[in-house]
């Protein structure tokens, strides 16, 4: 598998983990230092975000991938994912057309998510 295919796979595994509520898998895929920027501009650490999932304040039902593109350097990568996300966020359920730019870094030969920024399409 090429690095480009690998980083796209990692992002798809993250999405699958979000939908399944699989916190163990998400912890493996996401760097402890990762930061997530939400639609509102709010920034959360990996553990803050996972805690919101654990509490049920963030609940992801489905995600329909519309397009995906990866740019890969030696030890850094960015995956841009356009999707339609069905989620309940702090009590409000909706289907959002989103673009998420996920950054990854190669750490010890493994690609880890280091951050993501989400915006409306």
Q: Is the pLDDT of residue 75 over 90?
A: yes
Q: Show the tokens assigned to 42.
A: 């709010």
How confident is the model over 16-72, as pLDDT tens digits? 999 999 999 999 999 999 999 998 899 999 999 999 999 999 999 999 999 999 999
Range 110-116 average pLDDT = 98
Q: Show the tokens assigned to 112.
A: 């880890």
In the prediction, which pLDDT does 39 show?
87
Q: How sure is the predictor about 121, in pLDDT bands with cuts at 50, 70 and 90?
A: confident
Specify the pairing of strand 58-72 against strand 92-107.
unpaired
Q: Show the tokens assigned to 89.
A: 């966020």
**Are 86 and 62 in contact, with CB atoms under 8 Å apart?**
yes
For the chain, what percent of residues have pLDDT higher than 70? 100
In the prediction, which pLDDT does 93 show?
96
In the prediction, which pLDDT does 91 show?
92
The CA angle 118-32-73, to the nearest 5 degrees, is 65
Range 70-85 average pLDDT = 97
Short-list 118, 109, 43, CA closest to 75 = 109
In the prediction, which pLDDT does 40 show?
86
CA distances from 113 to 6, 78, 93, 118 (A): 12, 9, 26, 14
Short-list 49, 35, 38, 37, CA closest to 114 = 35
Q: Average pLDDT over the chain, rounded to whole?
A: 96
Domain architecture of the chain: domains with CATH: 3-120 (3.10.450.50)
- If you search the block for the tokens 């939400």, which residue do you land on? 38
């Amino acid at each position: 598998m090429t690095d480009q295919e690998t980083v796209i796979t990692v992002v798809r595994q993250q999405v699958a983990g979000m939908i399944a509520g699989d916190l163990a898998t998400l912890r493996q895929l996401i760097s402890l230092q990762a930061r997530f920027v939400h639609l509102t501009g709010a920034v959360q650490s990996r553990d803050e975000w996972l805690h919101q999932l654990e509490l049920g304040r963030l609940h992801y039902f489905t995600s329909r991938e519309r397009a995906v593109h990866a740019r890969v350097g030696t030890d850094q990568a960015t995956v841009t994912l356009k999707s339609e996300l069905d989620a309940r966020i702090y009590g409000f359920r909706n289907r959002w057309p989103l673009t998420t730019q996920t950054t990854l870094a190669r750490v010890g030969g493994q690609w880890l998510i280091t951050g993501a920024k989400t915006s409306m399409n």
